[in-house]
């Protein structure tokens, strides 16, 4: 039997409604992120077009970086140019994108309590990086990781699992993709990361030159944040490797 749809359950009607709104928002404001068609919506579920494809691998990084850059630039130029990173941003129906700062500050404090940071000085270092990150124009964050992309035999890239969107600085979602590729497959060549960042910046800048300015130091800040934020997931969901890319700054603490 050939599958034609994938039905995803949600904990509540509100969660299903939010996922459907995010799907529609991306279709309008980030059309380069091709999504499976939303076929039907039930009280607590969404039915999507079935996509037969493989998950992303390290050799896909540069291509996916350009795709993300185009999507982030398009969304900024059509909608998110009005957003700031330290405040929630509302859809036209009033549904908010969570702000960037407060959500992650709370998680970083939990990581200290869980033992994923060695002490309060390390927490303060991460909070300083977080504050630096919340500068500049706002992109959206969709939790880019290898499992959230499907590549078909004909080379088409589909973006899946877009239930939860939030605000983030440009380059932050690219850093999440790099970090999770490392956790899934092991070390990624630093030259490939530089090439991916250049492709991302070119794609962003095609929408506005202001957007294509993420440098490697800023990307490293984002990678350091993701190292801490994703620490509890090591050993789950295919994350078999530690963060083998060590990201440091002159301050000395990753």
In a domain, 48, yes or no: no
In a domain, 158, yes or no: yes
Q: What is the pLDDT of residue 181?
A: 96
Lowest mean pLDDT among 12-26, 59-73, 89-103, 233-247: 233-247
Q: What is the pLDDT of residue 1?
A: 52
Q: What is the pLDDT of residue 253?
A: 32
Mean pLDDT of 156-164: 93
Give how many domains the chain has, as a whole number.
Answer: 1
Q: Cα separation of 236 and 22, whole Å? A: 26
In a domain, 77, yes or no: yes
Per-residue pLDDT for 245 more than 60? no
pLDDT band for position 251 (cuts 50, 70, 90): very low
Report which of residues 48 and 2 the model is more confident about.
48
Per-residue pLDDT for 105 more than 50? yes
pLDDT band for position 91 (cuts 50, 70, 90): confident
Return left, alpha or beta for 112; rule: phi > 0 is left, psi -120 to 50 is alpha, else beta: alpha
Does this model's pTM top 0.85? yes
Q: Cα separation of 221 and 115, whole Å? A: 21
**CATH code, 149:** 3.90.1200
Per-residue pLDDT for 249 more than 60? no
What domain range includes position 201? 53-233
In a domain, 86, yes or no: yes
């Amino acid at each position: 039997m050939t599958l034609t749809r994938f039905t995803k359950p949600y904990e509540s009607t509100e969660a299903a409604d939010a996922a459907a709104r995010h799907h529609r928002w991306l279709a309008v404001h980030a059309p380069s992120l091709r999504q499976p068609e939303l076929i039907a919506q039930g009280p607590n579920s969404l039915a999507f077009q079935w996509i037969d494809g493989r998950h992303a691998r390290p050799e896909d990084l540069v291509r996916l970086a350009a795709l993300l850059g185009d999507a982030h630039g398009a969304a900024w130029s059509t909608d998110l140019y009005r957003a700031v990173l330290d405040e929630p941003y509302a859809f036209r129906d009033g549904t908010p994108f969570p702000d960037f700062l407060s959500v992650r500050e709370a998680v970083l404090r939990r990581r200290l309590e869980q033992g994923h940071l060695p002490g309060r000085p390390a927490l303060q270092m991460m909070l300083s990086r977080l504050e630096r990150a919340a500068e500049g124009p706002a992109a959206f964050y969709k939790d880019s990781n290898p499992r959230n992309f499907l590549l078909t035999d004909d080379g088409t890239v589909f973006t899946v699992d877009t239930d939860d969107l939030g605000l983030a600085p440009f380059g932050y979602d690219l850093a999440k993709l790099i970090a999770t590729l490392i956790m899934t497959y092991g070390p990624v060549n630093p030259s490939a990361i530089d090439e991916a960042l250049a492709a991302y910046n070119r794609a962003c800048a095609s929408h506005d030159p202001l957007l294509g300015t993420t440098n490697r130091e800023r990307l490293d800040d984002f990678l350091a944040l993701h190292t801490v934020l994703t620490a509890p997931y090591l050993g789950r969901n295919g994350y078999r490797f530690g963060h083998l890319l060590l990201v440091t700054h002159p301050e000395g603490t990753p």
